[in-house]
Amino acid sequence: MNWLNRDPLAKLKIRYKLPLSFVVVSLIAFGLGGFLIINTVHSSLIQEIQTRLKSETIAQSSVFDQHLLMLGRRAQDFASDGFIRTQTEIIEDTTTSINDTETRLINHLKINKLPIVDEFINLHVFDIQANRLASVYPMETGLIDIIAEGFQKDTLWYSPLFHSGTNPVSPRFAVVTPLTNINQTKLIGHLVCVVDFAQILAYLSEQYQNAMSFSDVEKYLTFIDQSGGMLDIPWWTLNRRENVDLLDLTIQHIDSDIHNSIVLHEGRHNCRNDQEMFGFSFPMKYVNWTLLVELGTANALKTITALEERLFLVGLFIAILILVAMYFPVRFLIRPLGELETMAFDIKEGDYSARVKTDSEDEIGDLASSFNQMAEAMEERTAVLEKTAGDLAEREKEIRIQHDRLKTVVNSMNDGLILLNSKGEIVLHNDAGKPFVQHLFATDSSMEKFECINPESLKSKQCIDCLLDLNSMQACTIKLENRYFEVLSTQLPGLSGGAGKILVSRDITDRILMHEKHSRQERLAVLGNMAAVVAHEMNSPLAAISMYNQMLADDFDPQSPYAEHIDVINRNTETCREIIANLLDFARTPTLNMSIVDIHELINQTVRLLVPLHGKTNITIKLFLEASEFRIEGDLSRLKQIFANIILNAIQAVKESNGKVMIRTRTNDSDKCMVVDIEDSGVGIDPGIGKDIFTPFFTTRDSDMGTGLGLSTAKRIAEAHGGSVLLYQNQPQPTIFRITLPYTYRGNREFS
């Protein structure tokens, strides 16, 4: 291996060795760099094309899928029309003359239904034996065979694409939805809506111009239905915005194995007159179709071909330029470097009179001048060093005095001060900084991040790691043992070159609590004004709706098909009233009717009140009441509202799993308060929304199961009593909500 340490050009003069080595290395580096650039750009371009093609395919699939779903919902809306259902039953009754009934049904479909949706071009009503009962226009050729499968379904069904016999240019498909009687007790037939696919393209090309962005690269949009029908749409036709219905859209049929046929058109493949294409397919969610987008590779990769040609020409030019430019370094660099080497050797031996003669004004000339100045300065520096040694002794004495003064000032500070050296070690701290010193290097520290000016720096590390990071100069607020501290960090330059860090902490707990109190009061004030306006504006129209709805209820027979509609109006009116009442109650400042309250009796009453919600299930509620002799002073009804809301949430959390709810009480004598823990064995609360559960109107349930005011109301009432409500423990199980309320009585004796 000794040959690796030997110079293969050792016998060659440096004036030849330097330019030859530089040229060879430069050409090799340029060649490898060019090769890597071409391959990287080529691979990146293909990957980018495929990624964007996938995104466009998914976007187009979503656009068409949502529109087809909307058409299906409109068909279901038509099928829910009471007039259509009653007239269909009359027509099916063979004992009655159906001529007038059929005419009325056709007129209703033609006048009141078909014009509503531009994409619908015909409507048919069939009975359950697939016999046509009524049609707005003559039935399309072969429609019965196409929609036969839909008659076997009891839900919304989309047919394959087909051409009408009267208009073979425009593709169509049918949406089949079941018809039930007016009481929705039995199936009486099917409603068939025939859809013009060209109208869908015309509508979406106008409504979704951003999704259907124009491109000069050859691209195709293909729909493949469940029967193998394939409809090709050139990309540029979607940007015409008019006369889309005049396009020559012809349905083709692919192999019976649809999946294998689609696979042949995915990725990089040859098709479209044996041209190379990129392809990607995506299934449509609500319709049993597949969307395929194909992109021509010839134009897409045109830029990489031009880049290869330009890179070769640039490389040739750079090689020639390097050979010409190397003449000057060889001529004017090698000789001055030799003279500098001789001068350096003389200075090493102590000859400070050595000088270099040069007439150059470049860096070599500046270096020679610096060498000359260095030799002149060294004698002067020797004398200066001797004088400096005496000054250092005096300064050392002054530094010790300053050190004692600094230590006195630091220890007298009310704010905590911690000094870290360049290794992250604590070298100085005062008494106010001891709480931080105890936790900075503890593995089980209770310090947690509360707020940070630059949260991006904490993505991959904990709060303590950020404080100890010498390169992180942050101003943040942290929580330590239920106290909040504002921490400022400043870099401290070190005398040896390494930088340290200064941490200054200030207790701002009172300021944060006051700020939270003021913010909450401001929010409640705004909410109160809004609630008053909403109540005033909503109660009058709700009263009118309720009155007229009651009048309708009195006028209609209870057996009328519209009786159910009246009940729906009445229920939703009552729901609106309840929401307004809850909003007003939340916005008002609680008025407390204070009395001596036995919390244990209150909990027992609340549990008995909620028995109907869990009495017939396997939910187990256990009570562990360990502070029976303590009493609090509070509003009995308001306190009951706290426990009812939280226990009800716990019951609903374990209702599906037939789990357990446990309620424990104890006292905290140091804070003179009673602690109530409500624990459930449910799945817990998503950590991502844990901070929002006490926000007014925030709820994870359906809108008809809660308003999102339960927990926020419970917290507001507890704080009005001088206590608190918090999520003490979450995932993993169990979930625990902790309620604290100050006690003022023990037995019959009052505490001060």
Pick left, alpha or beta for residue 741 (phi over 0 → left; psi -120 to 50 → alpha; otherwise beta).
beta
Q: What's the one-letter identity of residue 607?
A: V
Predicted confidence (pLDDT) at residue 664 exceeds the cutoff of 80: yes
Task: Label residue 136 by pLDDT band (50, 70, 90).
Answer: very high
Predicted confidence (pLDDT) at residue 194 exceeds the cutoff of 90: yes
Cα separation, 679 vs 606, in Å, equals: 15
Predicted confidence (pLDDT) at residue 492 exceeds the cutoff of 50: yes
Res 100: pLDDT? 82
Res 328: pLDDT? 65
Peptide bond into 283 cis (omega under 30): no
Q: % helix / strand / coil in the chain, to the nearest 5?
A: 50, 20, 30
Res 675: pLDDT? 92
Q: What are phi and psi of 310, to 5 degrees?
A: -65, -40
Percent of the chain with pLDDT over 70: 72
Task: Label residue 525 by pLDDT band (50, 70, 90).
Answer: low
The residue among 56, 60, 64, 92 whose CA lies nearest residue 161 is: 64
**Least confident window among 14-18, 424-428, 695-699:** 14-18
Tokens standing for residue 443: 């593995």
Predicted confidence (pLDDT) at residue 448 exceeds the cutoff of 80: no
Predicted confidence (pLDDT) at residue 455 exceeds the cutoff of 60: no
The residue among 257, 217, 215 whose CA lies nearest residue 238 is: 215
Predicted confidence (pLDDT) at residue 582 exceeds the cutoff of 70: no
Check the CA dihedral 434-437-440-443 and report its sign.
negative
The residue among 558, 414, 579, 592 whose CA lies nearest residue 486 is: 414
Check the CA dihedral 455-459-464-467 and report its sign.
negative
Q: What angle do CA 120, 123, 125 make, to 5 degrees?
A: 150
Q: How large is the average pLDDT for residues 5-25?
A: 66
**CB contact set of 687 (below 8 Å; sequence gap of 6+):** 730, 731
Task: Label residue 420 by pLDDT band (50, 70, 90).
Answer: confident
List b or e across 377-401, with b for residues whose CB sees 16 or more CB atoms inside 10 angstroms: eeeeeeeeeeeeeeeeeeeeeeeee
Check the CA dihedral 366-370-372-373 and report its sign.
positive
The residue among 241, 252, 143, 247 whose CA lies nearest residue 195 is: 143
Q: What's the one-letter identity of residue 220?
A: Y
Predicted confidence (pLDDT) at residue 752 exceeds the cutoff of 50: no
Predicted confidence (pLDDT) at residue 371 exceeds the cutoff of 70: yes
Res 747: pLDDT? 61
Cα separation, 163 vs 315, in Å, equals: 60
- Compute how many other C-beta atoms are within 10 angstroms of the C-beta atom of residue 747: 9
Res 214: pLDDT? 45
Check if the beta carbon of residue 736 is closer than 8 Å to that of residue 678: yes
The residue among 278, 265, 212, 259 whose CA lies nearest residue 51 is: 278
**Least confident window among 144-153, 173-182, 615-624, 742-751:** 742-751
DSSP 8-class letter at 109: I
Predicted confidence (pLDDT) at residue 246 exceeds the cutoff of 50: no
Res 551: pLDDT? 81
List b or e across 96-126, with b for residues whose CB sees 16 or more CB atoms inside 10 angstroms: eebeebbeebbebbbeebbeebebbbbbbbb
Predicted confidence (pLDDT) at residue 544 exceeds the cutoff of 70: yes
CA distances from 331 to 71, 79, 222, 642 (A): 83, 95, 69, 92
Higher pLDDT, 643 or 465: 643
**Least confident window among 66-75, 294-303, 632-641, 669-678:** 294-303
Res 220: pLDDT? 79
Cα separation, 640 vs 651, in Å, equals: 16
Res 124: pLDDT? 93
User: Averaging pLDDT over each range in 76-80, 404-408, 498-502, which range is the top one?
Assistant: 76-80
pLDDT digits (tens, 9 = 90+) for 157-187: 999 988 876 555 678 899 999 999 888 888 9
**In a 10 Å sphere around its CB, with 0-12 CB exposed, 13-18 middle and 19+ buried, how is residue 197 labelled?**
buried
Cα separation, 513 vs 491, in Å, equals: 30
Beta strands in 284-364 (DSSP E): 290-296
Predicted confidence (pLDDT) at residue 46 exceeds the cutoff of 70: yes
**Cα first-last separation, the chain:** 90
Predicted confidence (pLDDT) at residue 653 exceeds the cutoff of 70: yes
Cα separation, 564 vs 41, in Å, equals: 66
Res 486: pLDDT? 80
Adjacent-strand bridge partners of 124: 135, 192
**Least confident window among 239-248, 327-336, 420-429, 570-579:** 239-248
Res 682: pLDDT? 80
Check if the beta carbon of residue 745 is closer than 8 Å to that of residue 596: yes
Res 618: pLDDT? 76
Q: How large is the average pLDDT for residues 687-714?
A: 70
Res 126: pLDDT? 93
pLDDT digits (tens, 9 = 90+) for 707-743: 667 788 888 888 888 899 988 888 767 889 999 999 8
- Can you give the three-state secondary structure of 169-233, one letter per residue? CCEEEEEEEEEECCCCCCEEEEEEEEEEHHHHHHHHHHHCCCCCCCCCCCEEEEEECCCCEEEEE
Res 199: pLDDT? 83
Task: Label residue 206 by pLDDT band (50, 70, 90).
Answer: low
Higher pLDDT, 186 or 470: 186
> Which three-class secondary structure state does DSSP give residue 556?
coil
Cα separation, 743 vs 751, in Å, equals: 8
Res 677: pLDDT? 93
Strands 673-680 and 735-742: antiparallel
Which domains, and CATH codes, for the chain? 51-300 (3.30.450.220), 358-412 (no CATH), 413-507 (3.30.450), 514-587 (1.10.287), 594-750 (3.30.565.10)
Q: What's the one-letter identity of residue 408?
A: T
User: Averaging pLDDT over each range in 204-213, 235-244, 284-293, 504-513, which range is the top one?
Assistant: 284-293
Output the average pLDDT for the chain.
76
Cα separation, 212 vs 191, in Å, equals: 33
